[in-house]
Amino acid sequence: MMSLIAKLPQASNFAPLVDHLYDFIFWVSVVSFFIIVGMMGYFVLKYHRKRKAEDSTPYIEGHGPTEFAMAAVLFVLVMVIFAWGWMDYRKMLHSPEKTLEINIIGKQWFWNAEYPNGRKLKDELVVPEGADVKLTMTSADVIHSFYIPDFRIKQDVVPGQFTKLWFKPTKEGEYTAFCAEYCGFDHSRMLARVKVLRPKAFKKWYDNWKDEATQTEGDLTSPIEKGRLVFEAKACNACHTVDGKPLVGPSFLKTYGTKRPLEGGGEILMDENYVRESLMDPQLKISKGYPPAMPTFRGQLTDEEVNHVVAYLKSLSDGIATPAPQARNDMVQGDEESLEEKGEKYFEKFACNACHTVNGEKSVGPSLREIYGTLRPLQGGGSIEVSEKYLKESLINPGQYVVDGFPNLMPSYKHELSEEEIKALVEYIKGI
Protein backbone atom coordinates (compact mmCIF):
# COMPACT_ATOMS: atom_id res chain seq x y z
CA MET A 1 0.00 0.00 0.00
CA MET A 2 1.35 3.42 -0.92
CA SER A 3 1.03 6.43 1.32
CA LEU A 4 -1.64 8.89 0.17
CA ILE A 5 0.73 11.73 0.98
CA ALA A 6 4.24 10.58 0.06
CA LYS A 7 3.38 9.02 -3.34
CA LEU A 8 6.69 7.14 -3.22
CA PRO A 9 7.14 3.36 -3.45
CA GLN A 10 7.29 1.65 -0.07
CA ALA A 11 10.25 -0.63 -0.68
CA SER A 12 11.47 -1.46 2.83
CA ASN A 13 10.10 -2.48 6.20
CA PHE A 14 10.54 1.08 7.50
CA ALA A 15 8.69 2.84 4.69
CA PRO A 16 5.15 2.17 6.01
CA LEU A 17 6.19 3.21 9.54
CA VAL A 18 7.53 6.57 8.38
CA ASP A 19 4.61 7.18 6.01
CA HIS A 20 1.97 6.45 8.65
CA LEU A 21 3.54 8.97 11.05
CA TYR A 22 3.87 11.62 8.35
CA ASP A 23 0.30 11.00 7.19
CA PHE A 24 -0.89 11.53 10.75
CA ILE A 25 1.08 14.79 11.09
CA PHE A 26 -0.18 15.95 7.69
CA TRP A 27 -3.86 15.40 8.48
CA VAL A 28 -3.52 16.96 11.94
CA SER A 29 -1.97 19.98 10.21
CA VAL A 30 -4.78 20.11 7.62
CA VAL A 31 -7.50 19.96 10.28
CA SER A 32 -5.67 22.55 12.42
CA PHE A 33 -5.29 24.86 9.43
CA PHE A 34 -9.01 24.86 8.62
CA ILE A 35 -9.98 25.30 12.28
CA ILE A 36 -7.63 28.27 12.74
CA VAL A 37 -8.44 29.94 9.42
CA GLY A 38 -12.16 29.24 9.89
CA MET A 39 -12.21 30.78 13.37
CA MET A 40 -10.17 33.74 12.14
CA GLY A 41 -12.64 34.32 9.29
CA TYR A 42 -15.59 34.01 11.69
CA PHE A 43 -14.21 36.65 14.07
CA VAL A 44 -13.23 38.97 11.20
CA LEU A 45 -16.81 38.92 9.93
CA LYS A 46 -18.57 38.94 13.29
CA TYR A 47 -16.55 41.74 14.83
CA HIS A 48 -15.84 43.82 11.73
CA ARG A 49 -15.22 47.46 12.64
CA LYS A 50 -17.84 48.82 10.26
CA ARG A 51 -20.56 46.60 11.67
CA LYS A 52 -19.99 47.35 15.33
CA ALA A 53 -19.60 50.53 17.25
CA GLU A 54 -16.09 51.00 18.54
CA ASP A 55 -17.24 50.90 22.19
CA SER A 56 -19.74 48.02 21.82
CA THR A 57 -17.25 45.15 22.03
CA PRO A 58 -16.79 44.07 25.68
CA TYR A 59 -13.33 43.81 27.17
CA ILE A 60 -12.38 40.14 27.64
CA GLU A 61 -9.74 39.22 30.19
CA GLY A 62 -9.50 35.56 29.18
CA HIS A 63 -10.71 32.22 30.52
CA GLY A 64 -8.10 30.25 32.47
CA PRO A 65 -9.69 26.76 32.28
CA THR A 66 -10.09 27.05 28.49
CA GLU A 67 -6.51 28.20 28.02
CA PHE A 68 -5.10 25.40 30.20
CA ALA A 69 -7.32 22.84 28.45
CA MET A 70 -6.04 23.94 25.02
CA ALA A 71 -2.44 23.83 26.22
CA ALA A 72 -3.00 20.34 27.65
CA VAL A 73 -4.57 19.07 24.40
CA LEU A 74 -1.67 20.44 22.34
CA PHE A 75 0.87 19.00 24.78
CA VAL A 76 -0.72 15.55 24.57
CA LEU A 77 -0.80 15.77 20.76
CA VAL A 78 2.89 16.70 20.56
CA MET A 79 3.82 13.92 23.01
CA VAL A 80 1.85 11.38 20.95
CA ILE A 81 3.86 12.40 17.88
CA PHE A 82 7.10 12.24 19.91
CA ALA A 83 6.33 8.78 21.36
CA TRP A 84 5.25 7.45 17.96
CA GLY A 85 8.44 8.73 16.33
CA TRP A 86 10.63 7.43 19.16
CA MET A 87 9.17 3.91 18.93
CA ASP A 88 9.80 3.82 15.18
CA TYR A 89 13.30 5.24 15.64
CA ARG A 90 14.17 2.53 18.19
CA LYS A 91 13.24 -0.11 15.62
CA MET A 92 15.70 1.53 13.21
CA LEU A 93 18.47 1.60 15.83
CA HIS A 94 18.49 -2.07 16.80
CA SER A 95 19.26 -4.51 13.99
CA PRO A 96 18.47 -8.25 14.14
CA GLU A 97 21.29 -10.64 15.04
CA LYS A 98 21.43 -12.36 11.66
CA THR A 99 22.00 -9.83 8.90
CA LEU A 100 23.84 -9.51 5.62
CA GLU A 101 26.61 -7.06 6.58
CA ILE A 102 27.94 -4.77 3.85
CA ASN A 103 30.72 -2.23 4.31
CA ILE A 104 30.11 1.18 2.73
CA ILE A 105 32.80 3.82 2.19
CA GLY A 106 31.77 7.26 1.01
CA LYS A 107 34.25 9.31 -1.01
CA GLN A 108 33.99 12.49 -3.05
CA TRP A 109 31.88 11.72 -5.05
CA PHE A 110 30.97 8.05 -5.10
CA TRP A 111 30.02 5.12 -2.89
CA ASN A 112 32.04 1.91 -2.49
CA ALA A 113 30.39 -1.29 -1.21
CA GLU A 114 32.17 -4.47 -0.08
CA TYR A 115 30.41 -7.77 0.63
CA PRO A 116 31.41 -10.56 3.05
CA ASN A 117 32.70 -12.67 0.12
CA GLY A 118 35.07 -9.90 -0.99
CA ARG A 119 33.04 -8.59 -3.91
CA LYS A 120 33.26 -4.83 -4.39
CA LEU A 121 30.88 -2.48 -6.17
CA LYS A 122 31.15 1.18 -7.07
CA ASP A 123 28.00 3.31 -7.01
CA GLU A 124 25.87 0.18 -6.76
CA LEU A 125 24.30 -1.81 -3.94
CA VAL A 126 22.69 -5.22 -4.54
CA VAL A 127 20.54 -6.72 -1.76
CA PRO A 128 18.11 -9.64 -1.45
CA GLU A 129 14.40 -9.08 -1.11
CA GLY A 130 13.05 -10.03 2.31
CA ALA A 131 16.44 -10.34 4.05
CA ASP A 132 17.78 -8.15 6.85
CA VAL A 133 20.68 -6.00 5.61
CA LYS A 134 23.07 -3.99 7.79
CA LEU A 135 25.35 -1.31 6.37
CA THR A 136 28.51 -0.39 8.31
CA MET A 137 29.59 2.95 6.89
CA THR A 138 32.48 5.39 7.08
CA SER A 139 33.83 8.28 5.02
CA ALA A 140 37.29 8.69 3.51
CA ASP A 141 37.13 12.50 3.37
CA VAL A 142 34.18 14.68 4.45
CA ILE A 143 30.76 14.10 5.99
CA HIS A 144 28.30 12.38 3.66
CA SER A 145 24.79 11.06 4.27
CA PHE A 146 23.49 7.80 2.78
CA TYR A 147 19.85 8.25 1.81
CA ILE A 148 17.42 5.93 -0.01
CA PRO A 149 14.06 7.76 -0.30
CA ASP A 150 12.07 4.69 -1.38
CA PHE A 151 13.32 2.86 1.74
CA ARG A 152 12.75 5.92 4.01
CA ILE A 153 16.21 5.52 5.54
CA LYS A 154 19.04 8.00 5.98
CA GLN A 155 22.25 7.98 8.01
CA ASP A 156 25.23 10.34 8.20
CA VAL A 157 28.56 8.87 7.07
CA VAL A 158 31.36 10.43 9.11
CA PRO A 159 35.15 10.31 8.58
CA GLY A 160 37.07 8.66 11.41
CA GLN A 161 34.18 6.60 12.77
CA PHE A 162 31.58 4.00 11.83
CA THR A 163 27.85 4.52 11.60
CA LYS A 164 25.30 1.78 11.04
CA LEU A 165 22.04 1.44 9.18
CA TRP A 166 19.81 -1.59 8.70
CA PHE A 167 16.69 -2.35 6.67
CA LYS A 168 14.72 -5.14 5.04
CA PRO A 169 13.96 -4.64 1.31
CA THR A 170 10.39 -5.65 0.60
CA LYS A 171 9.95 -4.90 -3.08
CA GLU A 172 12.03 -6.14 -6.01
CA GLY A 173 13.30 -3.43 -8.34
CA GLU A 174 15.85 -0.66 -8.80
CA TYR A 175 16.09 2.41 -6.59
CA THR A 176 18.46 5.34 -6.11
CA ALA A 177 20.67 6.21 -3.13
CA PHE A 178 21.64 9.85 -2.69
CA CYS A 179 24.15 11.78 -0.64
CA ALA A 180 21.96 14.03 1.52
CA GLU A 181 24.80 16.10 3.01
CA TYR A 182 26.46 18.76 0.85
CA CYS A 183 29.98 17.45 0.23
CA GLY A 184 31.48 19.62 -2.47
CA PHE A 185 31.48 20.26 -6.21
CA ASP A 186 29.83 17.05 -7.49
CA HIS A 187 27.54 16.46 -4.51
CA SER A 188 24.45 16.27 -6.75
CA ARG A 189 26.04 13.48 -8.78
CA MET A 190 26.92 11.29 -5.80
CA LEU A 191 24.29 8.68 -6.61
CA ALA A 192 24.22 4.90 -6.34
CA ARG A 193 21.91 2.35 -7.91
CA VAL A 194 20.23 0.04 -5.39
CA LYS A 195 19.07 -3.27 -6.87
CA VAL A 196 16.72 -5.51 -4.91
CA LEU A 197 16.83 -9.05 -6.28
CA ARG A 198 14.65 -12.02 -5.52
CA PRO A 199 16.40 -14.29 -2.97
CA LYS A 200 17.43 -17.00 -5.42
CA ALA A 201 18.65 -14.48 -8.00
CA PHE A 202 20.67 -12.74 -5.29
CA LYS A 203 22.24 -16.01 -4.18
CA LYS A 204 23.34 -16.72 -7.76
CA TRP A 205 24.70 -13.18 -8.08
CA TYR A 206 26.45 -13.43 -4.71
CA ASP A 207 28.02 -16.87 -5.12
CA ASN A 208 28.98 -16.69 -8.81
CA TRP A 209 30.66 -13.48 -9.83
CA LYS A 210 33.50 -12.31 -12.01
CA ASP A 211 35.59 -9.21 -12.16
CA GLU A 212 33.67 -7.21 -14.74
CA ALA A 213 36.74 -5.24 -15.75
CA THR A 214 38.85 -8.24 -16.75
CA GLN A 215 36.18 -10.93 -17.24
CA THR A 216 38.32 -13.20 -15.09
CA GLU A 217 37.56 -14.69 -11.71
CA GLY A 218 37.61 -11.80 -9.26
CA ASP A 219 39.40 -11.68 -5.92
CA LEU A 220 37.34 -14.15 -3.89
CA THR A 221 39.22 -13.39 -0.68
CA SER A 222 36.69 -12.48 2.01
CA PRO A 223 37.12 -9.43 4.25
CA ILE A 224 37.73 -11.83 7.15
CA GLU A 225 40.70 -13.41 5.41
CA LYS A 226 41.97 -10.01 4.29
CA GLY A 227 41.71 -8.84 7.89
CA ARG A 228 43.77 -11.80 9.06
CA LEU A 229 46.45 -10.95 6.51
CA VAL A 230 46.55 -7.31 7.69
CA PHE A 231 46.63 -8.52 11.30
CA GLU A 232 49.76 -10.53 10.54
CA ALA A 233 51.38 -8.07 8.13
CA LYS A 234 51.20 -5.26 10.69
CA ALA A 235 52.56 -7.59 13.42
CA CYS A 236 49.43 -7.29 15.57
CA ASN A 237 50.01 -10.94 16.53
CA ALA A 238 53.24 -9.94 18.24
CA CYS A 239 51.20 -8.48 21.12
CA HIS A 240 47.70 -9.93 20.67
CA THR A 241 46.78 -13.61 20.42
CA VAL A 242 43.63 -15.19 19.02
CA ASP A 243 43.63 -18.24 21.29
CA GLY A 244 42.58 -16.61 24.56
CA LYS A 245 46.07 -16.28 26.07
CA PRO A 246 47.07 -12.64 26.74
CA LEU A 247 50.50 -11.32 25.82
CA VAL A 248 51.59 -7.69 25.91
CA GLY A 249 48.01 -6.83 25.00
CA PRO A 250 44.71 -8.67 25.52
CA SER A 251 43.71 -11.66 23.41
CA PHE A 252 40.99 -11.11 20.81
CA LEU A 253 39.28 -14.48 21.20
CA LYS A 254 35.59 -13.97 22.03
CA THR A 255 36.06 -10.29 22.89
CA TYR A 256 34.17 -8.50 20.11
CA GLY A 257 30.78 -7.31 21.29
CA THR A 258 31.77 -7.48 24.97
CA LYS A 259 32.38 -4.65 27.43
CA ARG A 260 36.06 -4.05 28.26
CA PRO A 261 37.23 -2.57 31.59
CA LEU A 262 39.48 0.48 31.19
CA GLU A 263 42.41 1.87 33.13
CA GLY A 264 41.21 4.61 35.43
CA GLY A 265 37.72 3.13 35.73
CA GLY A 266 34.75 2.64 33.48
CA GLU A 267 34.22 0.27 30.59
CA ILE A 268 33.56 0.40 26.88
CA LEU A 269 31.82 -1.81 24.33
CA MET A 270 34.24 -3.37 21.86
CA ASP A 271 32.57 -2.51 18.57
CA GLU A 272 33.62 -1.08 15.19
CA ASN A 273 34.22 2.41 16.55
CA TYR A 274 36.30 1.21 19.51
CA VAL A 275 38.49 -0.95 17.25
CA ARG A 276 39.04 1.94 14.86
CA GLU A 277 39.80 4.37 17.68
CA SER A 278 42.26 1.90 19.22
CA LEU A 279 44.09 1.60 15.90
CA MET A 280 44.32 5.37 15.37
CA ASP A 281 44.61 6.60 19.00
CA PRO A 282 45.67 3.57 21.06
CA GLN A 283 46.52 5.61 24.18
CA LEU A 284 43.04 7.11 24.44
CA LYS A 285 41.28 4.13 26.06
CA ILE A 286 43.63 1.48 27.49
CA SER A 287 42.36 -1.93 28.60
CA LYS A 288 42.75 -2.48 32.32
CA GLY A 289 45.81 -4.50 33.31
CA TYR A 290 47.84 -3.82 30.16
CA PRO A 291 50.64 -1.31 29.49
CA PRO A 292 50.16 1.62 27.04
CA ALA A 293 52.61 0.10 24.57
CA MET A 294 50.59 0.00 21.35
CA PRO A 295 51.77 2.31 18.53
CA THR A 296 49.37 4.25 16.33
CA PHE A 297 48.48 3.01 12.85
CA ARG A 298 47.21 6.37 11.70
CA GLY A 299 48.31 6.87 8.11
CA GLN A 300 49.32 3.20 7.79
CA LEU A 301 45.89 1.64 7.32
CA THR A 302 43.28 2.54 4.73
CA ASP A 303 39.55 2.62 5.55
CA GLU A 304 39.14 -0.69 3.73
CA GLU A 305 41.92 -2.32 5.77
CA VAL A 306 40.31 -1.10 8.99
CA ASN A 307 37.03 -2.67 7.82
CA HIS A 308 38.87 -5.93 7.15
CA VAL A 309 40.47 -5.97 10.60
CA VAL A 310 37.06 -5.37 12.18
CA ALA A 311 35.58 -8.25 10.17
CA TYR A 312 38.41 -10.54 11.32
CA LEU A 313 37.98 -9.64 14.99
CA LYS A 314 34.23 -10.22 14.68
CA SER A 315 34.87 -13.70 13.33
CA LEU A 316 36.84 -14.59 16.46
CA SER A 317 33.84 -14.08 18.72
CA ASP A 318 31.04 -16.55 19.31
CA GLY A 319 27.51 -15.30 18.85
CA ILE A 320 28.52 -12.68 16.30
CA ALA A 321 26.73 -13.04 12.97
CA THR A 322 29.58 -13.28 10.48
CA PRO A 323 28.35 -14.39 7.03
CA ALA A 324 30.49 -16.96 5.29
CA PRO A 325 31.82 -16.33 1.78
CA GLN A 326 28.82 -18.30 0.47
CA ALA A 327 25.38 -16.72 0.73
CA ARG A 328 23.46 -18.15 3.67
CA ASN A 329 20.38 -20.28 3.08
CA ASP A 330 18.18 -17.85 5.00
CA MET A 331 18.72 -15.38 2.16
CA VAL A 332 16.72 -17.69 -0.10
CA GLN A 333 13.57 -18.10 1.98
CA GLY A 334 14.77 -20.86 4.31
CA ASP A 335 14.82 -24.59 3.65
CA GLU A 336 11.32 -24.85 2.14
CA GLU A 337 11.15 -25.02 -1.63
CA SER A 338 10.22 -21.59 -2.92
CA LEU A 339 7.74 -20.88 -5.71
CA GLU A 340 10.67 -19.81 -7.88
CA GLU A 341 12.44 -23.15 -7.33
CA LYS A 342 9.27 -25.01 -8.24
CA GLY A 343 9.07 -22.93 -11.41
CA GLU A 344 12.62 -23.95 -12.35
CA LYS A 345 11.60 -27.60 -12.09
CA TYR A 346 8.49 -27.05 -14.20
CA PHE A 347 10.64 -25.19 -16.75
CA GLU A 348 12.63 -28.39 -17.29
CA LYS A 349 9.70 -30.78 -16.83
CA PHE A 350 7.66 -29.20 -19.62
CA ALA A 351 10.75 -28.83 -21.86
CA CYS A 352 10.65 -25.03 -21.98
CA ASN A 353 14.46 -25.17 -22.08
CA ALA A 354 14.26 -26.88 -25.47
CA CYS A 355 13.38 -23.57 -27.12
CA HIS A 356 14.32 -20.90 -24.54
CA THR A 357 17.72 -20.41 -22.93
CA VAL A 358 18.47 -18.65 -19.64
CA ASN A 359 22.01 -17.51 -20.49
CA GLY A 360 21.22 -14.82 -23.06
CA GLU A 361 21.81 -16.95 -26.16
CA LYS A 362 19.09 -17.15 -28.81
CA SER A 363 17.47 -20.45 -29.65
CA VAL A 364 14.18 -21.34 -31.35
CA GLY A 365 12.59 -18.76 -29.07
CA PRO A 366 14.03 -15.70 -27.32
CA SER A 367 16.29 -16.10 -24.29
CA LEU A 368 14.55 -15.42 -20.99
CA ARG A 369 17.58 -13.91 -19.25
CA GLU A 370 16.68 -10.54 -17.67
CA ILE A 371 13.60 -10.35 -19.92
CA TYR A 372 11.11 -9.40 -17.20
CA GLY A 373 10.12 -5.73 -17.23
CA THR A 374 11.56 -5.05 -20.70
CA LEU A 375 9.72 -4.02 -23.88
CA ARG A 376 9.66 -6.69 -26.61
CA PRO A 377 8.99 -5.84 -30.29
CA LEU A 378 6.12 -7.83 -31.80
CA GLN A 379 5.51 -9.26 -35.24
CA GLY A 380 3.32 -6.89 -37.22
CA GLY A 381 4.57 -3.85 -35.33
CA GLY A 382 4.25 -2.47 -31.83
CA SER A 383 5.76 -3.72 -28.61
CA ILE A 384 4.67 -5.10 -25.26
CA GLU A 385 6.08 -5.04 -21.75
CA VAL A 386 7.04 -8.42 -20.31
CA SER A 387 4.79 -8.45 -17.23
CA GLU A 388 3.16 -11.23 -15.23
CA LYS A 389 0.04 -10.84 -17.35
CA TYR A 390 2.04 -11.15 -20.59
CA LEU A 391 3.89 -14.25 -19.37
CA LYS A 392 0.67 -15.97 -18.33
CA GLU A 393 -0.94 -15.07 -21.65
CA SER A 394 2.08 -16.43 -23.55
CA LEU A 395 1.72 -19.79 -21.79
CA ILE A 396 -2.02 -20.06 -22.42
CA ASN A 397 -2.32 -18.35 -25.80
CA PRO A 398 1.22 -18.08 -27.27
CA GLY A 399 0.07 -17.06 -30.76
CA GLN A 400 -1.49 -13.78 -29.61
CA TYR A 401 1.79 -11.90 -29.02
CA VAL A 402 4.71 -13.30 -31.04
CA VAL A 403 8.10 -11.68 -30.52
CA ASP A 404 9.53 -10.22 -33.71
CA GLY A 405 12.27 -12.34 -35.30
CA PHE A 406 11.05 -15.69 -33.95
CA PRO A 407 8.68 -18.27 -35.49
CA ASN A 408 5.19 -18.87 -34.12
CA LEU A 409 5.90 -22.42 -32.97
CA MET A 410 5.13 -22.44 -29.25
CA PRO A 411 2.25 -24.76 -28.27
CA SER A 412 -0.45 -23.76 -25.81
CA TYR A 413 -0.19 -25.03 -22.22
CA LYS A 414 -3.76 -24.07 -21.37
CA HIS A 415 -4.80 -27.62 -20.49
CA GLU A 416 -1.39 -28.86 -19.31
CA LEU A 417 -0.54 -26.40 -16.57
CA SER A 418 -2.45 -25.71 -13.39
CA GLU A 419 -2.83 -22.19 -12.05
CA GLU A 420 -0.20 -22.92 -9.41
CA GLU A 421 2.26 -24.22 -12.02
CA ILE A 422 1.74 -21.14 -14.20
CA LYS A 423 2.35 -18.90 -11.19
CA ALA A 424 5.55 -20.79 -10.34
CA LEU A 425 6.85 -20.53 -13.92
CA VAL A 426 6.19 -16.80 -13.97
CA GLU A 427 8.11 -16.37 -10.69
CA TYR A 428 11.04 -18.32 -12.08
CA ILE A 429 11.17 -16.27 -15.28
CA LYS A 430 11.03 -13.05 -13.28
CA GLY A 431 14.13 -14.10 -11.35
CA ILE A 432 16.26 -15.22 -14.32
Of these ranges, 47-51, 121-125, 273-277, the one predicted with the greatest mean pLDDT is: 121-125
pLDDT tens by residue, 340-378? 888 888 888 888 888 888 877 778 888 888 888 888 888
When pLDDT is cut at 50, 70 and 90, the band that residue 45 belongs to is confident
Q: Tell me the C-alpha distance between 260 and 268, whole Å.
A: 5
When pLDDT is cut at 50, 70 and 90, the band that residue 53 belongs to is low
Q: Tell me the C-alpha distance between 405 and 217, whole Å.
A: 35
Q: Tell me the C-alpha distance between 343 and 388, whole Å.
A: 14
When pLDDT is cut at 50, 70 and 90, the band that residue 102 belongs to is very high
Average pLDDT (226-232) is: 87
Question: Does residue 338 surpass a pLDDT of 80?
Answer: no
Question: Does residue 382 surpass a pLDDT of 70?
Answer: yes
Number of H helices, E strands in the chain: 9, 16
Question: Does residue 192 surpass a pLDDT of 60?
Answer: yes
- DSSP E strand stretches across 149-252: 153-157, 163-167, 173-179, 192-197, 210-211, 216-217
Which of 3-17, 98-112, 201-215, 227-241 is predicted with the least confidence, judged by mean pLDDT?
201-215
Q: Tell me the C-alpha distance between 425 and 340, whole Å.
A: 7
What does pLDDT average to over the chain? 84
Q: Tell me the C-alpha distance between 308 and 279, whole Å.
A: 13
Average pLDDT (393-411) is: 85
Which among 16, 183, 168 has a CA at the least distance from the CA of 99? 168
Which among 115, 127, 121, 123 has a CA at the least distance from the CA of 173? 127
